[in-house]
Structure 1
Amino acid sequence: MKLVTTLVALTLVSGVALAASAGKMDKNGDGKITKSEVMACDTDGNKIISKDEAKACGMTDEQFKQYDKNLDGAIAAMELTIPD
């Protein structure tokens, strides 16, 4: 029983942590970050999110690393494999 209680507690804490990490990125407050929410950070309209644009948008360094698949220091629209 203790194991089940511990697993449930850890699951709840993980969910809260994920929702908190969504932060400013989650514009509609549904707990998920969509492709359109990420691309809203592209303030100059070039379909590429620079590190500066990401920070201004509230993206964490961890989120930036997650989305920058080719590790070139920018997030291109084609790198995003998240649903819209």
Structure 2
Amino acid sequence: MFGIETYRSRLGHFLGQIGPHMETRAIALQSMPRFPDGSLLRGESSNTVFFVEQGKKRPFHSMEAFHFYKYDWNRVTNV
């Protein structure tokens, strides 16, 4: 019940069980819309504006910060 072969066997069984779930997640991530760096995004039901940088959404913590960096409110996309 111990040793590398037992570990590999159990790991193979575990990965076999979660494999279909991981494939579904990968497909879901691929189908999500991608926004180019520099995009300004805001959810329809949210007041928080996000700046897309290196594929990650970075929130502005205040409207003062948004204006400090001289972003244009007309460039914000509602998603």
Q: What's the TM-score once normalised by structure 2's chain length?
A: 0.33
**Higher fraction of strand:** 2
Higher helix fraction: Structure 1 or Structure 2? 1
> Highest Rg: 1 or 2?
2
